[in-house]
Amino acid sequence: MKCRHCQTELEHVFLDLGYAPPSNAYRSEAQLQTPEVTYPLKLHVCHHCWLVQTDDYAEADQLFTDDYAYFSSTSKGWLKHAANYVDQITDRLQLNAQSFVIEVASNDGYLLKNFVAKKIPCLGIEPTNSTAEAAERLGILVWRKFFGEEIANALTAEDKQADLICGNNVYAHVPDINDFTIGLRMALKPGGTINLEFPHLLQLIDKNQFDTVYHEHFSYLSLTSVSKVFAHAGLRIFDIEELPTHGGSLRIYGCHADDPRPVSHAVTAMMAREQSFGLLDLTTYTSFQAKANKVKNDFVAFLIEQKRSGKSVAAYGAAAKGNTLMNYAGIKHDLIDFICDAAPSKQNKFMPGSHIPIFPPSELSARKPDWVIILPWNIAEEVTQQEKQVLAWGGKFIVAVPELKVFQ
């Protein structure tokens, strides 16, 4: 396999999590009687451009299907994050009714609805029908396509180049990162701004967030690697922000290579920090497997101990990261009784691979488990507040990543 960006032969494994089904391929009861496809879940690091990337097996159209079950609006915290961003960027760029905004991977309209409310013209690009339909019901115009050079050409032909192109947690999901980035440049007006948010590779390694690895994430991104991809496409990064979302993310501000805006101190400081941390050192990557193994082993030991003690164990949040953890650890229905999730699209289905049943959150009160594992640890505080009745019957919350931790 060659690097998706620079075509260097990939010689170094960063992480091997065995085989797993696509993380959002939730199963119906009927599908439990049919074969389930799994793919290798292995990451490589390119020693030339430092792009971390998955094995080249699953195709995007096998992962982002018409019945795609992830709806961004499920999380109240994420809705607030999106609304705050729209307020901030509208003020910073002085966007108005004469501006044009494109969101790539606009999902269910969780973000663009805020631009609609401000009467700022906008367009969503979203390949999954289930989420695009939800956005259209909010009055958002959506093109149901995967973004890249072809779509950028169509946008240019219709005079739809943007003052702002934004994309939250899409850049890591792109199989052809060069095609996507060139498309960004083509669809951007002169003087326009690109905002992309993505989980920061530095935080993944530092906080042992190996469960954020799944097939839908083709790349795991640092500022160092993204800067190289942008430069190749005729773009550059002039500013960044660090965000707490998804365990630690970066929001980058990109522009055309000849844009006069100066590079901020935040960019140069983060580049230096990444080098100091070791993101340009192969041993940082090759030593990571042992850290993931320890978390997995500690988690399995905990579950076995609870079952031997006669305790009941449930989980909250049928999240992709939870699927990665459970499939890597080989956890099935015998160790976790059920999972609750607030998304109707996941309820009354089964987790891919582990086949643990998914119920509405009301099932917690009905069954009163002794332990509730919060699988999407990045929203643990939100979950404990929403489901605080668990504490009333003596139940306890726990997360497994980056280490076992009990929430009282």
Q: What is the pLDDT of residues 23-48, one digit of tens each?
A: 888 999 999 999 999 999 999 999 99
Q: Where are the beta strands (DSSP E) in 171-268?
A: 188-199, 219-220, 235-243, 249-256
**pLDDT tens string 288-301:** 999 999 999 999 99
**C-alpha–C-alpha distance, residues 32 and 332, integer Å:** 14
Model confidence at 56: pLDDT above 90: no
Residue 121's pLDDT is what?
97
Model confidence at 68: pLDDT above 70: no
Q: Which of 56, 39, 40 is nearest to 4 (CA)?
A: 56
Residue 4's pLDDT is what?
95
Question: The pTM is what?
Answer: 0.88
Across 171-189, average pLDDT: 96
**pLDDT tens string 333-353:** 999 999 999 989 899 999 999
**C-alpha–C-alpha distance, residues 128 and 292, integer Å:** 32
Question: Cα separations (Å) of 356 from 114, 349, 351, 359, 372?
Answer: 36, 9, 5, 10, 14
**pLDDT more than 90, % of the chain:** 86
Residue 274's pLDDT is what?
98
- Looking at the DSSP bridge assignments, the partners of residue 39 are 20
Across 250-255, average pLDDT: 98
Model confidence at 304: pLDDT above 60: yes
28-32, 49-53, 62-66, 320-324: range with lowest mean pLDDT:
62-66
Residue 182's pLDDT is what?
98
Residue-wise DSSP of 216-227:
T--EEB-HHHHH
Q: Which residue has the tokens 């989420």?
A: 131
**pLDDT tens string 106-140:** 999 999 999 999 999 999 999 888 889 999 999 99
Residue 353's pLDDT is what?
96
Q: Which of 345, 396, 351 is nearest to 369 (CA)?
A: 396
Residues 6+ apart with CB under 8 A from 346: 26, 69, 318, 358
Backbone dihedral angles phi then psi of residue 45, each to the nearest 5 degrees = -120, 135
Query: CA torsion 299→302→306→307, rounded to 10°?
Result: 60
Residue 253's pLDDT is what?
98
77 falls in which pLDDT band (50, 70, 90)?
A: confident
Query: What is the biggest distance separating any 2 CA atoms in the chain, rounded to whole angstroms?
Result: 66
Model confidence at 220: pLDDT above 70: yes
Across 292-313, average pLDDT: 97
**pLDDT tens string 82-109:** 999 999 999 999 999 999 999 999 999 9
Model confidence at 196: pLDDT above 80: yes
289: exposed, middle or buried (Cβ count in 10 Å: 0-12, 13-18, 19+): middle
Residue 16's pLDDT is what?
97
Token pair of 27, please?
């199963």
Instruction: Please report, as a single letter, which amino acid is at residue 228.
Output: K
Model confidence at 70: pLDDT above 60: no
SS3 state at 248: coil
**pLDDT more than 70, % of the chain:** 95
Backbone dihedral angles phi then psi of residue 148, each to the nearest 5 degrees = 175, -165
Model confidence at 60: pLDDT above 70: no
Across 188-214, average pLDDT: 96
The whole-chain average pLDDT of the chain stands at 93
**C-alpha–C-alpha distance, residues 367 and 268, integer Å:** 53
Q: Which of 301, 322, 288, 222 is nearest to 16 (CA)?
A: 288
Across 249-266, average pLDDT: 98
Delineate the domains of the chain, giving CATH numbers in brackets: 146-285 (3.40.50.150), 289-407 (3.40.50.720)
**C-alpha–C-alpha distance, residues 2 and 56, integer Å:** 9
